[in-house]
Chain A
Amino acid sequence: MKARTRVLIGAGLVVGTVGYLMASGIKDTGVYFLTPTELAQRVSADPSFRDVGVKMGARVVHGTIQRDVASQTIAFKVTDGTQTYPVVYRGLAPDTFNDDVDVVVEGRLMPDGTFRATTLLAKCGSRYEVVPKA
């Protein structure tokens, strides 16, 4: 076998591995990113969609944050203007989490209509910029 052929086979193996890892990685770890409205549509079209873990991007409704420090639970409401969901999260919230910030919550919609989040990211669109004074 020529050297070139051998190296090409090796290269094929490397490229194949990378491709396989990427494809399976996306299949196994990819998560839908939805707005509250899209989530509502999905669930009403197919109730079993509740069991699929999703990420939801929305804005925290002003004044709805309730922190129970003892049980380390945070309850708040998020909205995209049309659809609103109550969210429950257990754990420490990031520093930027506050009223009216954009958040990304990852978790599941419970049968009672509450979104149970396992991760909470506060996506302060202006993290490096100054926060507008209220």
Chain B
Amino acid sequence: MTTLGQISLWLALLVAAWGAVTGVLGGIRRRPELIHSARRATYVLFGLLLVAAASLLTALLKHDFNVEYVAAYTSRNLPLVYTVAAFYGGQAGSLLFWAFVLSIFAAAAQWSTPKRYETLMPYVAAVTSGIEVFFLATLVFAANPFTRLPFTPADGSGLNPQLQNPGMVVHPPMLYLGYISISIPFAFAVAALISRRLDTGWLHAIRRWTLLSWTFLSIGITLGMWWAYVELGWGGYWAWDPVENASFLPWLTMTAFLHSVMIQEKRGMLKKWNMTLITISFMLSIFGTFITRSGVISSVHSFTESNVGYFFLVFLVLTALGLGWLLWTRLPDLKTEAQLESAISREASFYFNNLVLVGIAFSVLWGTIFPILSEWVRGQKITVGPPFFNLVNVPLGLLLLALTGIGPLIAWRKASLGNLRRQFTVPVAALAVTAVMLAAIRYSNFYAGVAASLAAFVVATVVQEFVRGTFARHRLHGENYALAFARLVGRNRRRYGGYVVHLGIVTYMVAFSGLAFKQQMEASLKPGQSTTMMDPYGHQYTFTHLGISQYDRLNRFVTAASVEVRRDGKRVGVMSSERRQYVNSLNQPTFQPSTEAAIRSTPLEDLYIVFGGAVGNSEEAVYRFTINPLVWWVWYGGAILVLGGIIVMWPGSGPTKASLRRALPGYAVTLAGSAADRD
């Protein structure tokens, strides 16, 4: 089977190179046979990579330990779901996964894009094939998943225990899907540049792709936080680790892009900016993979150091040079069609939102690569950690939260005083009331207070929009309120889905502000001994150590320590944290022991208990107790965010005549009658 996979990879490399060359040549020379060939190459690539992926999966499922990759990442007693997940658990497999998924997306893009964008398609095929050339070359020459061992081990090494978690089964593919799907909008952008068809056509063609990739990134990041929280045992979900940052960076620039394309669609402005943003997003997705794999920046996620990193670096440099040249030669075609008319307008607020998002992205990138930069420039390696990122991003995040409320309410082109008064009275009142209430209860953290007040402001803007829209429909069409609400959202998915996303962001921000009240303590307890801890709401928790037990499980040996938890004297339950030693089917230990935290989640706060080890051979146990306020809301914020993304993407909300219409002065103000036309 692996021979078949091996052959498919080589053939795929040749086909990808063919597709990249014929796509560009066919497009420029307008040779129909070359164009057809390039587009067909995309489908053939998909077929070949399907075969390669199937043969790796077969090798994994058949426990063919003669294949190095299978032996390195699985063992006979590994549960089936993790055996499948091992496909993307290691370096070579994840690269194959990447190439395979890109081939699906590329084929889907060729197949599903309406005929009116036909002139772009040969270039799109060329770009996706070009990216495939890079991935396939890396696979064939540097990280081949089909490499065989000179002997066949009796059993494999098993999967790293930290990857044996349900979150880890879905988190990496979601993130990869997000990274990979950025390639499609990027391919269209390059196609538009090469063909000089720089009207808004390409933006309409990629609208759903952009959202898809943004949604996948959001899911992937949220699941990643969840995984880090339940599996890594340090009591938090975000540590500003380089790999976390790497997933956050394209999310930020994609979010900026989603907003700024609206300006180009409505007003024909920001053309160069949009081209730059989508290029940067693509490069950041490659950069993310590069720092994960190269070992250039130390991270908890690092794969083994290997020369794969250099392939990525070369690819990044080539992309940057190529795109820089393309943009430079096309600058005259990217002239803006309109000038900004007022500093108080939707356009201006979107400028600022973009500036803040890119500012955050830049500071995160800077902090991530600062150790390397400082070593190059000053010969002195200086690192920055979470304090740096928090210092910079908390104020910027709050500014962004404020803009989340302001942006959607300001009229296009030029807001009148009447518009401002009408839109902002209720939200500003909500902000003021919340701020006064927080001051009254002596809310102790300034930033958390600001976050909560701004959250009230944004929620008020969103509720106001939904209520006004529903009432307008009720009045105009005589629909009952439920129907009016459903149709309002259904017929303006982009707009109201966007508001739902904003609610998700608010939920996130409130959840993050809970970090300001996190409590942590460590204690060594004999059986029957207890310790107490106050939560930020003034309740007292009592933790009593019950004892330690040991037992065998399918592929691990478990030592569990149990704690009885009381809140204000009332029994809440027993929580058990485990230390696990994973073993293979021959009962040999694989990996170092790992810790499984005990977590009790409620909307107000999480209890997070980690068993650090037993003292000597006694039953005395060392614990770390953490009280994490509002963590619950991080997961729900993610869910709301994704729900919003899905509402916007839902089929049938493609560009209508109304949404293609250009903005008129005071556009957002004329609510009555035109609610269905705006977005």
The chain A residues found within 8 Å of chain B, CB to CB, are 3-4, 6-7, 10-11, 14-15, 17-18, 21-22, 24-26, 28-34, 55, 57, 67, 69-70, 72, 91-92, 94-96, 98, 104, 121, 123-131, 133
Contacts and interface: CB of A to CB of B under 8 A. Distances in A.
Interface string B388-421: 1001100110010000000000000000000000
A11 B351 contact: yes
Contact of B391 (A29, A96, A129): A29
Interface residues of B, number: 71
A7 to B, nearest CB: 5
Nearest to A119: B385
Given A32-B380, A98-B592, A3 B341 contact: yes
Interface in B609-633: 610, 612-616, 620, 622, 624
Nearest to A31: B383
B521 to A, nearest CB: 11
A18 B383 contact: no
Contacts of B377: none
B259 to A, nearest CB: 15
Contacts of A70: 524, 615, 620
A126 B380 CA distance: 26
A130 B158 contact: yes
B333 interface: no
Contacts of B351: 7, 11
Given A15-B359, A130-B591, A125 B305 contact: yes
A55 B381 CA distance: 10
Contacts of B371: 33
Given A11-B351, A72-B524, A32 B381 contact: yes
B356 interface: yes
B615 A26 contact: no
B90 interface: yes
A72 B612 contact: yes
A29 B381 contact: no
A30 B388 contact: yes
Nearest to B359: A18
A72 B622 contact: yes
Given A70-B615, A95-B233, A128 B163 contact: yes
Nearest to B348: A7
Interface stretch (B180-188, B293-301, B443-451, B666-674): B293-301
A10 B359 contact: no
B124 to A, nearest CB: 33
Given A22-B392, A127-B301, A33 B90 contact: no
B160 interface: yes
A7 B354 CA distance: 13
Contacts of A29: 384-385, 387-388, 391
A134 B340 CA distance: 67
Contacts of A33: 371, 381-383
A63 B89 CA distance: 31
Contacts of B91: 128
Nearest 7 interchain pairs by C-beta: A130-B157, A6-B343, A18-B359, A33-B381, A29-B387, A92-B612, A69-B615
Interface stretch (B17-25, B210-218, B362-370, B429-437): B362-370
B352 interface: yes
B23 to A, nearest CB: 35
B233 A25 contact: no
B302 interface: yes
A8 to B, nearest CB: 9
Contact of A21 (B163, B363, B385, B612): B363
A61 to B, nearest CB: 17
B72 interface: yes
Contact of B160 (A25, A30, A31, A128): A128
15 contacts: A3-B339, A4-B339, A15-B359, A18-B363, A21-B391, A24-B391, A26-B382, A28-B387, A28-B391, A32-B381, A34-B381, A70-B524, A92-B624, A94-B234, A130-B590
A6 B351 CA distance: 12
A6 B675 CA distance: 31
Given A3-B340, A32-B380, A70-B524, A21 B395 contact: yes
Q: Which of A67, A125, A127 has the most CB of B within 10 A?
A: A127
B58 interface: no
Contacts of A95: 162, 233, 592-595
B273 to A, nearest CB: 12
A128 B164 CA distance: 11
Interface in B557-614: 588, 590-595, 610, 612-614
Contacts of A124: 300
A73 to B, nearest CB: 11
B522 interface: yes
Given A14-B352, A33-B381, A123-B298, A22 B595 contact: no
B388 A69 contact: no
B650 interface: no
Interface string B235-272: 00000000000000000000000000000000000000
Given A14-B352, A91-B522, A104-B298, A126 B363 contact: no
B540 interface: no
Given A69-B615, A123-B298, A3 B388 contact: no
B300 A127 contact: yes
A4 B343 CA distance: 7
Interface in B112-153: none
Interface in B276-311: 295, 298, 300-305
A28 to B, nearest CB: 7
B342 interface: yes
B107 to A, nearest CB: 30
A8 B259 CA distance: 19
Given A21-B363, A29-B387, 18 more contacts: A3-B348, A7-B343, A14-B352, A17-B395, A18-B359, A18-B363, A22-B363, A25-B387, A69-B613, A92-B613, A95-B593, A95-B594, A98-B592, A123-B302, A126-B304, A127-B300, A127-B301, A130-B72
A125 B157 CA distance: 17
B340 A4 contact: yes
A93 to B, nearest CB: 8
A46 B24 CA distance: 61
Given A6-B343, A125-B305, A128-B163, A11 B355 contact: yes
Contact of A55 (B305, B356, B383): B383
Q: Which of A15, A28, A91, A128 has the most CB of B within 10 A?
A: A128
Given A25-B388, A30-B384, A69-B524, A15 B355 contact: yes
Contacts of A133: 588
B383 to A, nearest CB: 5
Contacts of A15: 355, 359
Q: Which of A18, A22, A94 has the most CB of B within 10 A?
A: A18
B301 A128 contact: yes
B614 A31 contact: no
A94 B624 CA distance: 12
A31 B370 CA distance: 11
Interface string B508-525: 000000000000001010
